[in-house]
Amino acid sequence: MSPVLITFYFLAAFTLATAFLTIYSKNPIHSAIYLVLCMVSIMGHYLLLNAQFVAIVQLIVYAGAIMVLMLFTIMLMNLNKEDEVHKPRITRLGAIVVFILMSIVLITIFINSKTIMGEYDSSGEDFQSIKVLGKVLLNEYMVPFEFASILLLVAMIGTVLLTKKEKDQK
Amino acid sequence: MDSAFIIEKSVFIVAIFAITMVMAMYSTWAERKVAAFLQDRVGPNRAGWGGLLQPLADGMKLFAKEEFFPNTPNRFLFIVGPAIAMSTALMTSAVMPWGDKLEIFGRTVILQATDIDVALLYVFGIISVGVYGIMIGGWASNNKFSLMSSVRAASQMVSYEIAMGLSIIALLMMTGTLSLKEIAAQQAGMNWNVFYQPVGFLIFLICAFAETNRTPFDLAECESELIGGYHTEYSSMKMGFYLFAEYANMFISSAILAVLYFGAYNYPGMQWMVDNVGVNAANILGIVVLFIKICFFIFFYMWVRWTIPRFRYDQLMHLGWKILIPLAIVNIMVTGICILVFK
Question: Whole-number mean pLDDT of chain A?
Answer: 82
H helices of B92-233, in order, are 119-140, 144-175, 180-186, 193-196, 198-211, 223-226
Q: Do A130 and B132 touch (CB under 8 A)?
A: no
Task: Tell me which of 3.40.50.720, 1.20.120.1200, 3.40.50.150, 2.30.33.40 is the CATH number of domain A1-87.
Answer: 1.20.120.1200
Report, in angstroms and rounded to the nearest whole number, the Rg of chain A calculated over CA atoms.
Answer: 21
pLDDT tens, B217-250? 887 777 777 777 787 888 888 888 888 888 888 8
Among candidate residues B217, B215, B203, B228, the one with its CA nearest the CA of residue B313: B217
With beta carbons less than 8 A apart as the criterion, state whether B141 and B70 touch.
yes
A67-81, B247-261, B311-325: which range is least confident on average? A67-81
Q: Give yes or no for A93 touching B (CB within 8 A).
A: no
> Strand pairing partners for B110?
B101
Residue B104: phi, psi to the nearest 5?
Answer: -120, 125
Kindly report the number of other CB atoms within 10 A of residue B167's CB atom. Answer: 27
Domain regions of chain B by residue span: 3-342
Would you call B42 helix, strand, or coil by DSSP?
coil
Q: Give yes or no for B217 touching A (CB within 8 A).
A: no
Q: Residue B307 and residue B293: Cα distance in Å, rounded?
A: 21
Q: Which of B118, B131, B158 sits opposite A56 (nearest CB)?
A: B118
pLDDT band at A13 (very low <50, low <70, confident <90, very high): very high
Among candidate residues B42, B23, B22, the one with its CA nearest the CA of residue B33: B42
Q: Do A53 and B117 touch (CB under 8 A)?
A: yes
Helices A67-77 and A28-48, packing angle to 10 deg: 180
Among candidate residues B129, B178, B179, the one with its CA nearest the CA of residue B154: B129
Average confidence (pLDDT) over B79-95: 87
Q: Do B118 and A71 touch (CB under 8 A)?
A: no
pLDDT tens, A110-133? 888 766 655 655 666 666 677 777
B150 to chain A: closest CA residue: A72
Helices A142-163 and A130-139, packing angle to 10 deg: 90
Question: What residues contact A156, with CB distance under 8 A and at least 6 apart?
Answer: none
Domain regions of chain A by residue span: 1-87, 129-170
> Strand pairing partners for B109?
B102
Q: What ipTM was estimated for this complex?
A: 0.80
A53 chain-B contacts, CB cut-off 8 A = 117-118, 121
Q: Give yes or no for A133 touching B (CB within 8 A).
A: no
Among candidate residues B184, B292, B305, the one with its CA nearest the CA of residue B246: B305
Q: Residue B115 and residue B177: Cα distance in Å, rounded?
A: 12
Q: Give yes or no for B128 touching A (CB within 8 A).
A: yes
pLDDT band at A105 (very low <50, low <70, confident <90, very high): very high
Q: Residue B51 and residue B72: Cα distance in Å, rounded?
A: 38
